[in-house]
Amino acid sequence: MRIDGDGLKFNGDTAAANALDDYEEGTFQPTPSISGATGSISFKSAADTLSYTKIGDLVHIQGYLQIDTNTVNGGRLNLGNLPFTSVDSAEASGFSLFTCQLSSGSGSQASGFFTSIGEGLTLLQIQTYTGVGTSNDSAVTMVANSFLFIQGQYKVA
């Protein structure tokens, strides 16, 4: 192991591109928005923050959010204000999927959610997974006092 101006290098490697040059831990408050419908969702102030760890160009996000109010009539929940912009790579290689589960919601949650971040974005899109595809009606199942558990990682720009 060695440390130089490029960062931390392992196993005798001298290539600058292979150096670990960034590590950060923190928290952030995602901002909810709705696509495809009207209304809004808000989170309880005691459960409106997610944590992240950034190692090099990979960010891991985890935690839960608790729904405070929900006035939507349909649509998809988006979570903005992610701590870093996702990479915009060739052939969609910057696209990432997250695990997202609702506890104490309404309706059928048998198939769960399809949660993704596209390239060059700071926004998670939470869609209902139907078993054969997705639908933009995830927001209506998130009733007051339900918990939205989220974890996943993405590459940053």
> What is the tens place of the pLDDT at every residue in 46-64?
999 999 999 999 999 999 9
Reply yes or no on whether the pLDDT at 29 is more than 70.
Answer: yes
Give residue 129's domain range. 23-155
7 in a domain, yes or no? no
Residue 81 in domain = yes
**Is the confidence at residue 81, as pLDDT, over 70?**
yes
Q: Report if residue 145 sits inside a domain.
A: yes
Spatial distance between the Cα atoms of 2 and 7, rounded to a whole number of angstroms: 8
Number of domains comprising the chain: 1
Say which CATH number the domain at 32 has: 2.60.90
Q: Bigger pLDDT: 157 or 111?
A: 157
Q: Is residue 102, in this structure, part of any structural domain at all? A: yes
Residue 3 lies in a domain: no
In a domain, 72, yes or no: yes
User: Could you give the 3-state DSSP secondary structure of residue 27?
Assistant: strand
Report residue 109: phi and psi, to 5°. Answer: -115, 20
Residue 14 lies in a domain: no
Written as one string, the DSSP assignment of 44-55 is: -GGG--EEEEEE
Residue 114 has a CB neighbour count (10 Å cut-off) of 19
